[in-house]
């Protein structure tokens, strides 16, 4: 009987611990990002470890085509990522990527984790979470006016 009770408890804990990033619509992703740009990855360097042993990575990219956020062609951007965390982009030197970024101190982080990183494949199409979306789709989403946020319901006590 103890075995069955233990099995039920473990199943309940496992089911309650499920987690996953919330995928944003293209419009929400575009609105949430401070910077959107086509870039080339020019540097990837480990810069230390967190107390949890997660590796901190400093990525350097060069802007090829700025789309949003006041960055210029040729500008270099520093992006912080972490190696060893699921749903975290893994940049590769020499690759072309469409990035959606948010400012954080003296660097950037990806908007909505891995959803803000769309590598370009050999065929010129976006891979990862950008699959099936074109650069023109992104440019059109940038032009659209921001969607109003839903109003919170009134709560009275």
Q: CATH number of the domain at 21-143, out of 2.60.40.10, 3.30.43.10, 2.102.10.10, 2.40.50.120?
A: 2.40.50.120
Q: pLDDT digits over 49-60, tens only?
A: 999 899 999 999
Element spanning 109, H or E: strand 107-110
* Mean pLDDT across the chain: 88
Burial classification of residue 129, based on how many CB atoms lie within 10 Å of its CB (0-12 exposed, 13-18 middle, 19 or more buried): buried
Q: pLDDT digits over 11-35, tens only?
A: 555 544 445 668 999 999 999 999 9
pLDDT over 50 at 128, yes or no: yes
- Residue 87 CA to residue 70 CA, distance in Å, equals 27
**Domain ranges (residues) in the chain:** 21-143
Q: pLDDT digits over 84-121, tens only?
A: 888 889 999 999 999 999 999 999 999 999 999 999 99
CA-based radius of gyration for the chain: 20
């Amino acid at each position: 009987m103890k075995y069955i009770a233990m099995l039920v408890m473990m199943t309940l804990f496992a089911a309650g611990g499920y987690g996953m990033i919330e995928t944003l619509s293209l419009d929400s992703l575009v609105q949430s990002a401070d910077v959107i740009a086509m870039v080339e990855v020019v540097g990837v360097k480990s810069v230390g470890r967190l107390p949890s042993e997660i590796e901190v990575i400093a990525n350097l990219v060069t802007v090829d085509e700025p789309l949003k956020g006041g960055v210029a062609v040729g500008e270099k951007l520093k992006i912080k990522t972490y190696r060893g965390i699921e749903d975290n982009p893994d940049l590769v030197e020499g690759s072309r990527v469409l990035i959606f970024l948010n400012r954080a101190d003296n660097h950037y982080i990806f908007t909505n984790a891995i959803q803000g990183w769309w590598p370009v494949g050999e065929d010129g199409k976006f891979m990862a979470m950008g699959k099936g979306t074109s650069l023109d789709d992104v440019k059109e989403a940038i032009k659209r006016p921001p969607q109003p946020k839903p109003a919170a319901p009134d709560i009275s006590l």
